[in-house]
Amino acid sequence: MPGFFLVFFALLLLTTTTTTAYQAKLVSSLLKTKQTTVDKLATVAPDSSELTRLRFALAFPSQAEATRALKATIAWRAGPGKSIVEAASKAVVEATRNPGEWDNEPVRLAAPHAKTINQFITPKNILTLSTDDGDLVYIIRASAINDNQLMRKVSVKQLSEFFAYVKEVHSIVANARSERTGRLCEVIFANDISGIRLPPNSKFSEALTSSSKQYEQLYPSLAGPTMILNLPLILQAFIALFKPLFPKTVQDRLLFERAPFLASQKELTPLTTTPKSRDRFLAEVKKLLR
């Protein structure tokens, strides 16, 4: 097995997060099981929404751990992450200025270091769609990102800030939908491996790993399943060997699947510009998650 495939496979697993398995979850039912913890967390963060506190209560096994995590998140949002949080909030307001519509351009332009990063990260290689249930589907086609050129122009810290901004936007949207529908909405990851020939840039991988850790620390219970799609045939035989090396919580969330329609797309843009293409892809995702 080529060494670079081993490296890339390991990096893919490093970018996964550990949350509960994908399923329809009613906020009201979840609150019944976690109400005591949710109420106690209000003493730590009285300005936080009940939904935010519920996500922390669900993600951590004890009151003490949930409290520590929430305190750390509050500190980040008021300190190092303040500009990211504020930029995302303003961008979402602009994106939803017309009721029932979403204009992604204000969101792209307001991202940290957008002038540089948006030259490399575009709707051709990374985008977000919505399912009928209100979940977000975050699609990444790594082979379409010139990560070597990108990392010559930005630092790991700058790219990590960009990805943190994406998470904050996702969090705002998912929480708003959860409030509106009564269903705990999540972000489903679709990592399309089509076209991968070389291992990713090490600094790019470092930023992705940092991004994964941020999900667990700052946005608990937001990440849904992680789908590794269109894995090269040479790697598929090794899945059974690698999967047991990871915690059960990670194993439960990893899905290795073929997504023929997604693989047939030369770039991801049609998934947002062509309703028929979007619907076919979302139907493919729905089938894979059954």
Write out pLDDT tens, residues 226-244. Answer: 898 998 776 666 666 666 6
- Residue 289: per-residue pLDDT: 93
- Residue 251: per-residue pLDDT: 65
**CA 259, CA 163: separation in Å to the nearest integer?**
25
Range of the domain at 107: 3-288
Name the token pair of 206. Answer: 């470092």
| φ and ψ of 133, to 5 deg | -80, -10
**CA 159, CA 119: separation in Å to the nearest integer?**
13
Q: Of 59, 66, 12, 24, nearest to 196 (Cα)?
A: 12
Q: Which CATH number goes with the domain that contains 10?
A: 3.40.525.10
Give the type of residue at 271: L
Write out residues in the chain with pLDDT < 70, as ranges: 1-24, 234-251
Give the type of residue at 236: Q
- Residue 136: per-residue pLDDT: 98
| φ and ψ of 269, to 5 deg | -50, -45
- Residue 40: per-residue pLDDT: 97
User: Could you give the number of structural domains in the chain?
Assistant: 1
- Residue 3: per-residue pLDDT: 43
Q: Hey, what's the torsion of the CAs at 274, 278, 279, 283, to 10 degrees?
A: 160
- Residue 266: per-residue pLDDT: 95
Please spell the DSSP secondary structure of 51-110, one letter per residue. Answer: HHHHHHHHH-SSHHHHHHHHHHHHHHHHTTTHHHHHHHHHHHHHHTSSTT----HHHHHH
- Residue 1: per-residue pLDDT: 44
- Residue 245: per-residue pLDDT: 57
> Which strands make up the sheet holding 223-229, listed edge to edge?
126-130, 136-141, 187-192, 223-229, 254-257
